[in-house]
């Protein structure tokens, strides 16, 4: 994939430093084959549908994790930003997701009846436990590969000569995450980490946080692999 | 205070049973002297202002507790209702509270600079720990005396011959909690407890839940007493 | 495998009822191929060593989960029993495990340098999150397939005509878990669940608890599969 | 009280820095009137007995908090030290405490039947919530005023010319906490904080940790005041 793309992660931000310290884990996630195939339109439909179903189940746990962040945050500004994300997931994203799924012939009943795949359990429960064991910064670092990674993935796809938008069945997916609105949400997450980490010794904790960041990125890569493998 | 008032708590609901099993603790809260003086307008202004300041600090912890309930809830319906409460507290109630405080000559700076009084720390941290130690039902039972109690207090005041609305400086407070909007929120809390408790053996846990309910009610009564005593 | 073995789980205990309600998940765990091969001595050494390493990493998270149970327990008797388990894991089992590993040519350095396999992350973080989200009973039901399952596995192997103890390289493993000492620990866990569940509506929560029990059993089965597959 | 005493807190340790940044809160605790009267033997027996009863109830919550620290710790060394404290509290200190109480005419039944006083609820639930909201360092800083403070109190009393050991009914209490054994436990806590804080940006978080330290110290002072006031 291309190396020049609109990079929204400032190199000198804490998240930028984490990415620089665990490049392999990050690459395994943002340049995964699932993404390449999605970008050029060759991804098997069954893989995409399996991913879509699991992504819905993922959102439930993701909402729990952001709710935990509200509980853990230490000032009103951070509490409000996390709460807005909980609200957005539960009351907007989930129904948008169901609409999107319907366009792929998946009903709510289809989705709800499916058990969580291992890759979904692993990543979400890892995030939740990491966040509960540590503080709000640990939780954010475990959570952020999701939203910020999707933003980077979309930007990489938009910049890549391998990407085919014309006639690509996954075009709507790519454009949703490349949208200014979604990019702004990801940027706000990066800024919020700067804010909370500043009060909680973030830079002095870079070694431990890097481990969390790398593990979370690898578990996100597993989520793509689950799609390719149709793994339960 | 009067014994006939619009009672929104069904006797055969779990919350109704808890109230019936711990009448002294509940009465010490909903019929506290602070409330009687507020109802007849004789409450010292300093007591009310002290209460208002602490109630703002209380809301921050209260939002954390409802966020914990989102994390703990086991279905989307419950998650959404708790999330709506978090959102309402952080993005509406707190600014309404500040406006209300301004009418009493209290600026945001006055409020924020004040440390949490003991009665505020005790009640909120008790709720948070009880909720973390137990499940969502334990958390709800510890939380509910607040919202449902305020609804009952307002209904009792509206029905009491001791209450003086005309010229009462606290009239707006009484009418806010007697409003249909607030009463509906309290009723929805009672219904939600029925819903979550049904899945989690609520009635079979009545003894333990009664202890939580009684302790939470007494700690709410302490909050009123803190206002009367101007206690730090 | 044989159907007649020394069954330490009383049919009318809560754990017995859970086992009866999710027989497939339980069987997939206690009658896994890994166990059959271990019983007749044909399990590849590499599989056993991979399991041993991961089991050590598992113990660390397991100790955290029992510590969480101390935090969550509601009486001193339960707190003491859980605390004894934490103490036993951290200060006895882990060093016994290292000794055992040394006999298989695995040094502490070999073990510590290995990252947690996915199956280990999935099961342990699922248990920890389930326990944090719910109450002590939810935590116990998620935890118990481990200790009680190992006890049943050993009893099944001891009773099975397929089992070969003579010259079986895994004989020490089987006899350790078949020992009276270990069986007593497992029985004490079953009794403790009766004790805590009685106060917390256990029988009225059987549907939800069955889901937790079944998921935990399946994730335990995954742990055996990880050994067979040498999966990372 | 005297200013020269055997000071076990190194000035350049994190705990030493916290003490230096919140001297008033710390003094309010370690030089409280309850302690002065205990030192010269004039403390009313009723105050001491009330304190003893509440201190037993406190130990239950304290054990929960150290169990939480096991869950939160990030390496085996820290997990083992916290686990040893849980074990010591539940299986040794609590029975020693009951023996001690019996010498004062208080039976286990007397103690268990007593409800937790507000000051006990406030301090313990504050510690538990602070620890759950933050990380292991936040938890340690909230917990440590207890054990380390008692060690300093005993050393201050032993060094003070106001202290009367001869004929002092509280002599056994003073000597217990001045004992080498207890002092070593307190020193080990100080060392463990150095260890965990080093990995988690402790010094960079000094402002936030100072607030926790100061609040915990003041809530400990409240515990003494509760004894003097015989407060419920």
pLDDT confidence of residue A50:
97
Asked whether the predicted pLDDT for residue A130 surpasses 80, the reply is yes
Measured CA to CA, the distance from residue D50 to residue D57 in angstroms comes to: 11
* Cβ contacts of B133 on chain C, cutoff 8 Å: 71-72, 74, 135
Which of C61, C67, C115, C121 is the best substitution to test chain A (most A C-beta atoms within 10 A)? C121
CB contact under 8 A, D121 and B122: yes
* Cβ contacts of D87 on chain C, cutoff 8 Å: 83-84, 86-87
Pair C73, C136: CB distance under 8 Å: yes
Residue C14 pLDDT grade (very low, low, confident, very high; cuts 50, 70, 90): very high
Measured CA to CA, the distance from residue C35 to residue B130 in angstroms comes to: 41
pLDDT confidence of residue C3:
65
Q: What is the mean pLDDT of chain C?
A: 96
* Cβ contacts of D132 on chain A, cutoff 8 Å: 132
Measured CA to CA, the distance from residue B7 to residue B72 in angstroms comes to: 29
pLDDT confidence of residue B62:
98
Residue D30: strand, helix, or coil: helix
Measured CA to CA, the distance from residue A157 to residue A152 in angstroms comes to: 8
Minimum-distance CB partner of A125 among C64, C129, C222:
C129
Q: In this structure, what is the dihedral angle of CA atoms D131, D132, D135, D140, given to the nearest 10 degrees? A: 20
A6-35 pLDDT, tens digit per residue, is 999 999 999 999 999 999 999 999 999 999
Give how far B71 is from chain C: nearest CA, Å: 7
- Residue B91 to residues A65, A67, A83, B87: CA-CA distances in angstroms? 20, 15, 9, 6
CB contact under 8 A, C208 and B199: yes
* Cβ contacts of D134 on chain A, cutoff 8 Å: 72, 135
**Angle at Cα B46 formed by Cα B45 and Cα B49, nearest 5°?**
85
Residue A28 lies in a domain: yes
CB contact under 8 A, A200 and D205: yes
Give how far B56 is from chain D: nearest CA, Å: 18
> Rg of chain B over CA atoms, in angstroms?
17
CB contact under 8 A, C133 and B205: no
Query: A61 to chain C: nearest residue by CA?
Result: C129
Which of D204, D207, D210, D211 is the best substitution to test chain A (most A C-beta atoms within 10 A)? D204
Which of D75, D77, D86 is the best substitution to test chain C (most C C-beta atoms within 10 A)? D86
On whether the pTM is more than 0.90, the answer is yes
In the numeric block, which tokens belong to residue A40?
A: 């050029």
Chains touching D by CB (3 or more pairs below 8 Å):
A, B, C
Measured CA to CA, the distance from residue B194 to residue B144 in angstroms comes to: 12
Residue A3 pLDDT grade (very low, low, confident, very high; cuts 50, 70, 90): low
* Cβ contacts of C132 on chain A, cutoff 8 Å: 128-129, 132
Measured CA to CA, the distance from residue C183 to residue C81 in angstroms comes to: 15
Which of B57, B62, B71, B122 is the best substitution to test chain D (most D C-beta atoms within 10 A)? B122
- Per DSSP (E only), the strands in chain A are none
C69-101 pLDDT, tens digit per residue, is 999 999 999 999 999 999 999 999 999 999 999
C143-184 pLDDT, tens digit per residue, is 999 999 999 999 999 999 999 999 999 999 999 999 999 999
DSSP character at residue D1: -
In the numeric block, which tokens belong to residue A90?
A: 């539960």
Minimum-distance CB partner of B201 among C71, C74, C204:
C204
* Cβ contacts of B205 on chain C, cutoff 8 Å: 199-201
Chains touching A by CB (3 or more pairs below 8 Å):
B, C, D
How many CB atoms within 10 Å of residue B64?
24
Minimum-distance CB partner of A63 among B79, B84, B94:
B79
In the numeric block, which tokens belong to residue B183?
A: 């009463």
pLDDT confidence of residue C115:
96
Give how far C155 is from chain D: nearest CA, Å: 31
- For D81-142, give the DSSP string: HHHHHHHHIIIIIHHHHHHHHHHTT--HHHHHTSPPPHHHHHHHHHHHHHHHHS-HHHHHHH
Which of B87, B98, B127 is the best substitution to test chain A (most A C-beta atoms within 10 A)? B87
The CATH number of the domain holding residue D48 is: 1.20.910.10
C96-148 pLDDT, tens digit per residue, is 999 999 999 999 998 999 999 999 999 999 999 999 999 999 999 999 999 99
Which of C71, C73, C94, C125 is the best substitution to test chain D (most D C-beta atoms within 10 A)? C71
Helices (H), chain B: 14-21, 23-30, 33-40, 45-72, 76-88, 94-103, 108-112, 118-133, 136-159, 171-178, 180-199, 206-229
Residue D76 lies in a domain: yes
**Which residue numbers of A have CB closer than 8 Å to B's CBs?**
60, 63-64, 67-68, 70-71, 76, 79-80, 82-84, 86-87, 90-91, 94
In the numeric block, which tokens belong to residue A199?
A: 């009060």
Could you list the residue range(s) of the whole structural domain that residue D204 is in?
A: 14-229
Measured CA to CA, the distance from residue A53 to residue A120 in angstroms comes to: 11
Residue B4 lies in a domain: no
User: C65: closest CA among D68, D131, A215?
Assistant: D68
Minimum-distance CB partner of B129 among D118, D125, D222:
D125
Residue D7 lies in a domain: no
Minimum-distance CB partner of B134 among C135, C203, C207:
C135
Measured CA to CA, the distance from residue B220 to residue B204 in angstroms comes to: 26
Please tell me the total count of domains within chain D. 1
CB contact under 8 A, B70 and A64: yes
Minimum-distance CB partner of B128 among D64, D118, D129:
D129
Please give the average pLDDT of every successive group of 10 residues along chain D, which has 232 residues. 83 98 98 98 97 97 98 97 98 95 93 96 98 98 98 98 97 97 97 97 97 98 98 95
Measured CA to CA, the distance from residue B170 to residue B164 in angstroms comes to: 10
Residue A161: strand, helix, or coil: coil
**Which residue numbers of A have CB closer than 8 Å to D's CBs?**
71-72, 74, 132-135, 138, 199-205, 207-208
Residue D9 lies in a domain: no
Distance of CA D108 to the CA centre of its chain: 22
Phi and psi at B146, nearest 5°, equal -65, -70
Measured CA to CA, the distance from residue B94 to residue B173 in angstroms comes to: 15
Is A12 exposed, middle or buried (CB count within 10 Å of its CB: 0-12, 13-18, 19+)? exposed
Helix axes B33-40, B45-72, angle to 10 degrees: 120
CB pairs B-D closer than 8 Å: 31
Minimum-distance CB partner of C138 among B132, B135, B207:
B135
Residue C209: strand, helix, or coil: helix
pLDDT confidence of residue A42:
98
Give how far B24 is from chain C: nearest CA, Å: 24
Distance of CA D10 to the CA centre of its chain: 18
* CB under 8 A, 24+ apart: contacts of A42-47: A43/A170, A43/A227, A45/A104, A45/A169, A46/A230, A47/A227, A47/A228, A47/A230
pLDDT confidence of residue B3:
65
- Residue B201 backbone zone (phi > 0: left; psi -120 to 50: alpha; other: beta): left
Tokens 């200014």 — which residue? Answer: A180
| E strand or H helix at A193 | helix A180-199
Measured CA to CA, the distance from residue B121 to residue B127 in angstroms comes to: 10
CB contact under 8 A, C121 and A118: no
Residue B59 lies in a domain: yes
Measured CA to CA, the distance from residue D30 to residue B52 in angstroms comes to: 33
Residue C7 lies in a domain: no
Residue D4 lies in a domain: no
- Residue D78 to residues A137, C138, D191: CA-CA distances in angstroms? 21, 27, 10
Query: D95 to chain C: nearest residue by CA?
Result: C76
* Cβ contacts of D74 on chain A, cutoff 8 Å: 133, 208
- Residue C108 to residues A100, C47, C50, C96, C132: CA-CA distances in angstroms? 50, 18, 14, 12, 31
Phi and psi at C161, nearest 5°, equal -75, -15
Measured CA to CA, the distance from residue C21 to residue D184 in angstroms comes to: 52
* Cβ contacts of B222 on chain D, cutoff 8 Å: 118
pLDDT confidence of residue C158:
97
Query: Which residues of chain B have a pLDDT value below 70?
Result: 1-3
Label residues D163-186 b or e (16+ Cβ within 10 Å = b): beeeebebbebbeebbeeebbebb
User: C151: closest CA among C35, C25, C24?
Assistant: C35
* Cβ contacts of B71 on chain A, cutoff 8 Å: 64, 67-68, 71
Pair B1, B36: CB distance under 8 Å: yes
CA atoms within 13 A on the CB side of D103: 12
Minimum-distance CB partner of A126 among C125, C219, C222:
C125
CB contact under 8 A, B200 and C205: yes
């Amino acid at each position: 994939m291309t190396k020049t793309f609109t990079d929204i992660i400032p190199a000198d931000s804490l998240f930028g430093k984490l990415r620089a310290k665990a490049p392999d884990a990050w690459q395994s996630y943002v340049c995964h084959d699932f993404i390449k195939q999605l970008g050029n339109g060759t991804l098997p439909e069954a893989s995409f549908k399996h991913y879509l179903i699991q992504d819905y189940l993922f959102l439930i746990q993701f909402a729990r994790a952001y709710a935990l962040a509200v509980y853990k945050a230490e000032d009103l500004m951070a509490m409000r930003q996390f709460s807005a994300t909980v609200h957005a997931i539960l009351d907007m994203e989930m129904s948008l997701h169901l609409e999107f799924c319907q366009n792929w012939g998946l009903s709510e009943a289809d989705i709800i009846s499916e058990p969580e795949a291992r890759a979904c359990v692993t990543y979400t429960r890892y995030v939740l436990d990491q966040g509960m064991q540590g503080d709000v910064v640990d939780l954010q670092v475990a959570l952020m590969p999701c939203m910020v990674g999707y933003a980077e993935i979309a930007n990489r796809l938009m910049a890549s000569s391998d990407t085919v938008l014309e006639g690509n069945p996954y075009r709507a997916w790519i454009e949703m995450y490349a949208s200014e609105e979604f990019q702004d949400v990801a940027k706000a997450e990066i800024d919020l980490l700067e804010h909370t980490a500043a009060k909680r010794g973030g830079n002095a904790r870079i070694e431990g946080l890097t481990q969390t960041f790398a593990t979370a990125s690898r578990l996100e890569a597993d989520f793509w692999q689950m799609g390719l493998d149709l793994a339960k």
